[in-house]
Amino acid sequence: MYLVTAEQMRQLDSETIQQLGIPAIALMENAGRVIAEEIIALCRERGGAGCRNAAKGNDAGLKEAALGDPGKAFKVSADHALTLASAAAERWFILVGKGNNGGDGLAAARYLRETGIAVTLVYAVPPESLSGEAALQRDAAAAMGLPAVVYGRDRLDLAECSGILDALLGTGGAGAPRGAYAELIAAANSSGKVIVSADIPSGLNADTGETHEPCIHASVTVCLAFLKRGLLQYPGAGAAGHVKVRAIGIPTALALNSGVQTHLLTPEVLHAHLGVDLARRRSPEGHKGTYGHVLLAAGTLRMSGAGLLAARAALRTGCGLVTWALPKKLLPSVIGVVPELMLADVGGSEEGNWEAETAPELLKLSEERDVIAVGPGLGRFPGDTDWLRSLWEGSDCPLVIDADALNILADSDYKSWARRRHSVILTPHPGEMARLANLTTAEVQRDRIGLAMDYAKEHGVTLVLKGAHTVIATPEGQAYVNTTGHPGMGTGGAGDVLTGMISSLLAQGLHATQAAAFGVYLHGLAGEGAARQRNNPAAIIAGDIIEAL
Ligand SMILES: NC(=O)C1=CN([C@@H]2O[C@H](COP(=O)(O)OP(=O)(O)OC[C@H]3O[C@@H](n4cnc5c(N)ncnc54)[C@H](O)[C@@H]3O)[C@@H](O)[C@H]2O)[C@H](O)CC1
Ligand SMILES: [K+]
């Protein structure tokens, strides 16, 4: 599923109108209709059970509607009719802005009225100021006799409605809502009524997910044609409620042709777009050598657990072998803890820390391995930037860089390092990303998708920007946004598990984008699995994520 910016949406909108000859008013009619359908579905959910069956048009409902005449051959089922009783209980206020978002709301109002739902139009601006298609919709609504009030001129009490359609601002909204818009948004939020937003919640930045003050807090957002990036990025994702993407006649192929490069990460995208074998078939003739060998450089005496977690996660993700290279001092404490794991002592300090002198030994080990994962629990040590540079420049396999190794990278001018033949995957959390990009964490979080895409392209790396809705960005300019996962995964070691998983997939022959995207997706699913096994998600620890793999 494509993710678009407001600008891309405008372009796709006008391409549909110009190249396909579909008039703008037809798109707006479609928008109004799908918004109305979602409101009707919501009304049905809170209506009575009899109403639900009849409205569903299923057999039980039809029989009920036919007053117990099962022999009747002739069947009629109305598209989205509510029973009179439940429609009569509904009265929706339609908050109408000046632009096309308001036009969508006006079209939806007509369809709602047709199903028997009472609607009142609430204009944020004098209706005379609407233009273009929105003005056509205004006239159609007036011709149909829909009651209307103008905010600031007429009496308005939101307590009198059963639900609110927010059609104030869509992708044309710029900056914080002003004047009547701001007042209506604040009143809607504090009304306690269910709110459905047309396209995006008014007050949301459609691209970044920033919420202006005020911003609608919707229960449902009916997103038109393509998912807007801002609906997936927090805090916008929290303001949007349940996002329902509905087609309005803009062909998906247009997005492909216009070079939209951002996707929601779904099984379809993983399989059809990225070519990942979701079933993870293994050859009957396969052996441990078939599935690759991960070399993990991780852990200090005080943080040996990070290495253990990454190593176990790699094994559970299916690679054939894992070698954990570690300071000698750690050996006695970790021998036998994970019996499936191979350990390689590379020296290190008396205190059990890494030393720059370990680089040649690591490089030698890497010759027989398929991927190097470096960073979990690594710590910092004198000469660490040269150490990382020699791994970067001297190894001949993909490199996964996490945790402290990212901080080393942040202190290095790594853009001047030799270009690698094999891929590099960076897996920063927002704090690490801030150090890499020389920003504050708040600046990183402001537009995660945009930042990740820019950074990956500029630095020629695959970037996994962790956090709620992890973003995977490629050096070629694509991005994938993951929505699997669970708030319970915010726990120490969860990142080490992800590093192990991505490395394992690389060792099994997946390319960098596949490994990063599939790894992140599976990691989230495993987190959801771990949450199901606990009474309280606060009890999840990183090891549970591994067990759920
Ligand atoms: N292709 C599609 O996806 C379709 C989208 N439709 C809908 O159209 C909107 C975008 O419409 P647009 O006219 O470009 O902009 P808006 O309606 O979002 O708002 C513009 C309007 O609002 C005023 N304004 C802007 N910012 C503010 C502010 N901060 N405070 C107050 N007022 C503001 C500005 O003056 C303009 O007049 C899209 O989201 C869909 O809902 C089509 O209907 C169908 C095709
Ligand atoms: K809106």
Q: How far is CA 261 from the centre of its chain?
A: 14
> 467 in ligand 1 pocket by Cβ < 6 Å?
no
pLDDT at position 288 over 70: yes
Per-residue pLDDT at 130: 98
Cα-Cα-Cα-Cα dihedral sign, residues 456, 462, 465, 471: positive
Percent of the chain with pLDDT over 90: 87
pLDDT grade, residue 81 (50/70/90)?
low
pLDDT confidence bin for 54, thresholds 50/70/90: very low
Write down the pLDDT at residue 303.
93
List, for residues 131-162, the tens digit of each pLDDT value: 999 999 999 999 999 999 999 999 999 999 99
Q: What is the pLDDT of residues 179-232, one digit of tens each?
A: 999 999 999 999 999 999 999 999 999 999 999 999 999 999 999 999 999 999
pLDDT of residue 60: 46
pLDDT at 79: 60
Instruction: Round to whole Å and give the CA distance between 483 and 3.
Output: 13
Beta strands in 173-241 (DSSP E): 194-198, 220-224, 227-228
What's the pLDDT at 87? 77
Residue 9 has pLDDT above 90, yes or no: yes
Listed range (69-73, 311-315, 367-371, 420-424) with the worst mean pLDDT: 69-73
Class level of CATH domain 3-62+79-260: alpha beta
Q: What value does the mean pLDDT take over residues 58-67? A: 45
Q: Which fold has domain 268-278+288-547?
A: UDP-N-acetylmuramoyl-L-alanine:D-glutamate ligase (3.40.1190)
Q: What span, in angstroms and rounded, lies between the C-alpha atoms of 137 and 123?
A: 13
Residue 172 annotated as lining a ligand binding site: yes
The pTM (predicted TM-score) of the whole model is: 0.92
Give bridge partners of residue 323 from the DSSP assignment.
Answer: 295, 342
In angstroms, the CA 119 to CA 152 distance is 19
Looking at residue 71, its pLDDT comes to 52
Check pLDDT > 80 for residue 243: yes
Q: What is the DSSP letter of 273?
A: I
pLDDT range class, residue 86, cuts 50, 70, 90 = confident
Omega before 398 within 30 of 0, i.e. cis:
no
Predicted confidence (pLDDT) at residue 59 exceeds the cutoff of 90 = no
- Give the mean pLDDT of 389-393: 97
Closest CA to 109 of 166, 171, 27, 32: 32
pLDDT value of position 95: 98
Instruction: Answer yes or no: is pLDDT of 65 > 60.
Output: no
Contacts of 168 (CB under 8 A, 6+ apart): 95, 96, 97, 101, 102, 124, 177, 181, 184, 185, 202, 216
Q: How confident is the model at residue 89 (pLDDT cuts 50, 70, 90)?
A: confident
Tell me how far apart the alpha carbons of residues 363 and 297 are, in angstroms, rounded to a whole number.
11
In the predicted structure, residue 78 carries a pLDDT above the cut 80: no
Q: What is the pLDDT of residues 479-527, one digit of tens each?
A: 999 999 999 999 999 999 999 999 999 999 999 999 999 999 999 999 9
Binned at pLDDT 50, 70 and 90, residue 46 comes out as: confident
Q: In this predicted model, what pLDDT tens digit does every residue of 354-372 receive, in sequence order?
A: 999 999 999 999 999 999 9
User: Residue 515: CB partners within 8 Å, gap ≥ 6?
Assistant: 425, 502, 503, 505, 506
Contact 397, 374 (CB under 8 A): no
User: Which pLDDT score, from 0 to 100, does residue 289 have?
Assistant: 84
For residue 118, is pLDDT > 60? yes
Residue 52 has pLDDT above 60, yes or no: no
How confident is the model at residue 45, as a pLDDT? Answer: 86
Residue 262, φ and ψ in degrees, nearest 5: -115, 135
Q: Is 102 annotated as belonging to a binding site?
A: yes
User: Which residue minimizes the CA distance to atom 40 of ligand 1?
Assistant: 101
Mean pLDDT for the chain overall? 93
The predicted complex's ipTM stands at 0.97
**Stronger pLDDT, 277 or 65, i.e. the higher one:** 277
Nearest ligand to residue 171 Cα: 1
Q: What percent of the chain has pLDDT over 70?
A: 93
Window from 42-51, 92-101, 483-492, 515-524 with minimum mean pLDDT: 42-51
204's CB contacts (< 8 A; 6+ apart) are 173, 210, 211, 212, 215, 216, 230, 231, 236, 239, 240
Domain boundaries, the chain: 3-62+79-260, 268-278+288-547
**CA 45–ligand 2 middle distance (angstroms):** 22
Q: Collapse the DSSP code of 441 into the 3-class scheme (helix H, G, I; strand E, B; otherwise coil) and give the result.
A: helix
**Among 171, 200, 216, which is best to mutate for testing ligand 1, by the most ligand atoms less than 8 A from CB?**
171
- Answer whether 476's CB lies under 8 Å from 516's CB: no
**d(CA 134, ligand 2 centre) in Å:** 14
Nearest to residue 324, comparing CAs of 412, 221, 340, 502? 340
**pLDDT score recorded for residue 257:** 83
How far, in Å, from the CA of 30 to the mean position of ligand 2?
16
Q: Give the residue-averaged pLDDT of 72-90.
A: 68
- SS3 for 490? coil
Which residues are placed with Cβ below 5 angstroms of ligand 2, an ion?
166, 197-198, 202
Whole-number Cα distances in Å, 376 to 54, 328, 345, 431, 493: 58, 17, 16, 15, 9
Is the beta carbon of 103 within 6 A of some atom in ligand 1? yes
Token digits for 495?
């990142």
**Predicted local distance difference test score (pLDDT) of residue 80:** 56
Query: Is the Cβ–Cβ distance between 97 and 123 less than 8 Å?
Result: no
- Read off the pLDDT of each residue in 21-27 and give the average, rounded to a whole number: 96
3-class DSSP state for residue 310? Answer: helix
Q: What is the torsional sign of CA 154, 159, 163, 169?
A: positive
Q: Could you tell me which of 430, 429, 542, 532 has the C-alpha nearest to residue 489?
A: 542
Distance of CA 99 from the midpoint of ligand 1 (Å): 4
